[in-house]
Structure 1
Amino acid sequence: MPNQNHKLSERTAAVGLMVAALFWGLSYPLTKYVEACPTFYIISLRFGIAALCLAIAFHRKFKLLNRDVIKYAFLLSFAVFLMFAFGIWGIKYTTSVRSSFFTTLSFLMIPVLNRVLFKIKISKIIVISALLCLVGVFLLCYAPGMGGLVINSGDLLCILAAVAGSFHIILVEKVSKNPRVDSSLFTVFLMGFISLWGTLIASITGDIHYSLTGSSQLIAIILMGVFCSAVSFCLQTHLEAFVSPDRVGVIFALEPASGCILSVILLGETMRFTGWLGAVIIMISILYMEFAAGKEASKQPETEDSKRKGSA
């Protein structure tokens, strides 16, 4: 029974993480829409809105506040801040479609970092899924008639965002298992610290005095704050404890797939057949990982039972 409950929890958590990835995918066309706004001004406003919404929603949980919540939120806020700073800066010099893919290259980095830092073995399922995702990214980058694989400055900035994002995913998985850290409160303070760093830098650069040119820009930033930040990070922090970080990395590859499709629909960006093929391959890699992992987990209880019978 415990194994079945755990399996159900892991599957439900995986679905919740997919929803988070879809919301993050929406952030790419929205960020591209407000690209005229200064980078740190966007971060300040977006995460300030997210922190306020979450603080109101979880105000009753503030009685659980302790030093660990504030400490870990403070430390992890730097990784998330760098991820968004590089990502928003990078999208100014590349398309929303390409940014959505490059920013999520973390699915390749996570298994390697886990192996190097924590000696966690990389499973065959994760290797196959990650390689399929890599093929999808390559198909997007490959531009016929432009010398093959073309990487511009915006793409490089998005890759730096992916590095910061991979550290964030790994560390959130560790923090989410700490019994002293309430996931909701942690997310409230994480959003607050990120907004604080954005506000401080925007104040130094003078960007804090920027005025939005229309209500549509404000609506876009509010949508990013509520759905692409508050809801998504809350889902990630609460559910990552039930799913291995390697699997989380591949699940979050849904982010670029949804990002490129929404960019085409909402912004009218064009994408070659190879780009669409890459998005399909990413979807296949995630379906393969979930199916293979579920099949492997279903065999586990039988193996344990057979061992008990053999020892008896």
Structure 2
Amino acid sequence: MTDKKKEYLSVLGLLLAALLWGVSYPLTKVVEDCPTFYIVSIRFLVAAAALALIFHRHFRNFHKEILKYAFLLSFCITSMYIFGTIGIKYTTSVRASFFTCLSFVIIPILNLVIYKLKLNKTIVISVLICLAGMFLLSYTADMGTFSLNAGDLLCILAATAGALHIIFLDRVTKQENMEPILFTIFLMAFVALWSTLIALATGAFAYADTTPFQFGSIIALGLFCSAAAFLLQSICQKYVPSNRVGVIIAMEPASGCVISVFVLGEAMHWTGWLGALLVMVSLLYMEISASRSNA
């Protein structure tokens, strides 16, 4: 298989991962009454167990580097949940959803600062279009002023943690002898461990009102929105630069809002539909430009 075909398939794989994360929006709505880290703990325990069971033969490829990188990157994902969970308590849900989805803006900035990776014209234009789309997608009359409060800053830290995960994963997947499936199993296991410790410390497991439907939704979150989505990301990101990955992953909130409209019957203003369209336009522009430059 040629490198160009691998890149093309990887973009499709990352897009599928973003769509799976988008499914988490209506599923999370079903379990919104449950404590956050009760959900996160069970979700990632299910993800780790399912992947370990399905791909148990991959454990023969174990080496310490896989464990080390999974351990380190698990803090990025866990931090994203911690900052996001605390942040939403001190700001509106609309502002929280906007600021926690800004990873696609933060990624090229961090790449420039950490790795001196210069921004090209295509990435800048794609990010700006995507930013406009995300603003329209999140905007409501009660969004308030543009001044930042403590909750907004915490949500930006959540987005930064997500951005760091994508940036560091870009380097990890290119390591020699890196087994993406085994890496994802340990990554899910470490996130499950940290989340379970937080759930125990906060008394989240004392919650006993979970209905069978809610518990089934958490299982679905683990199987599809964690196990499948993160596995696709670990496999596919090797062939797509992290700056492009950020814009692709921005399809998550856009698809999540659209799916919620059709599945949950939620209403979305015309500005939201326009915002979702702009996010898709930014992705198409970036990928068409990338295809032309590789031609």
Cα displacement (A) at 1:124: 0.7
User: After alignment, is 141-150 or 51-60 more displaced?
Assistant: 141-150
Aligned residues: 294
User: After alignment, is 130-139 or 150-159 more displaced?
Assistant: 150-159
Post-superposition Cα deviations, 1:24-76, rounded to whole Å, max 9, x if no partner, equal 01112212221211111111100000000000111001011111011110110
Q: Which is greater in Rg? A: 1
Q: Does the alignment pair 1:260 with 2:257? A: yes
Post-superposition Cα deviations, 1:250-305, rounded to whole Å, max 9, x if no partner, equal 1111111101112222333322211111110010010011111101110xxxxxxx
CA distance in 1, matches of 2:87, 2:267: 19
Aligned equivalent of 2:8: 11
AA in 1 matched with 2:54: A
Instruction: Indicate if the aligned counterparts of 1:100 and 1:259 stay in contact, CA closer than 8 A.
Output: no
AA in 2 matched with 1:36: D
Aligned equivalent of 1:308: none
Aligned equivalent of 1:120: 117
Percent identity, please. Answer: 53
CA distance in 1, matches of 2:112, 2:211: 48
Q: Does the alignment pair 1:64 with 2:61? A: yes
- Correspondence for 1:76 among 73, 77, 92: 73
Unaligned runs of 5+ in 1: 299-312
AA in 2 matched with 1:231: A
Aligned equivalent of 1:30: 27
Instruction: Indicate if the aligned counterparts of 1:104 and 1:252 stay in contact, CA closer than 8 A.
Output: no
User: After alignment, is 208-217 or 255-264 more displaced?
Assistant: 208-217
Aligned equivalent of 1:286: 283
Superposed CA RMSD: 2.2
Aligned equivalent of 1:305: none
CA distance in 2, matches of 1:251, 1:227: 18
Instruction: Indicate if the aligned counterparts of 2:34 and 2:210 stay in contact, CA closer than 8 A.
Output: no
Post-superposition Cα deviations, 1:2-31, rounded to whole Å, max 9, x if no partner, equal xx8111110110000000000001112212
AA in 2 matched with 1:140: L
TM-score (norm 1): 0.87
Aligned equivalent of 1:169: 166
AA in 2 matched with 1:207: A
Cα displacement (A) at 1:217: 0.7
Unaligned runs of 5+ in 2: none
AA in 2 matched with 1:72: Y
Q: Does the alignment pair 1:103 with 2:85? A: no
CA distance in 1, matches of 2:39, 2:86: 11
Post-superposition Cα deviations, 1:148-182, rounded to whole Å, max 9, x if no partner, equal 65978766544332111000000111111111321
Give the alignment of 1:1-312 within 5 angstroms.
5-88=2-85, 94-95=92-93, 101-144=98-141, 157-298=154-295
1:181 aligned counterpart, secondary structure: coil
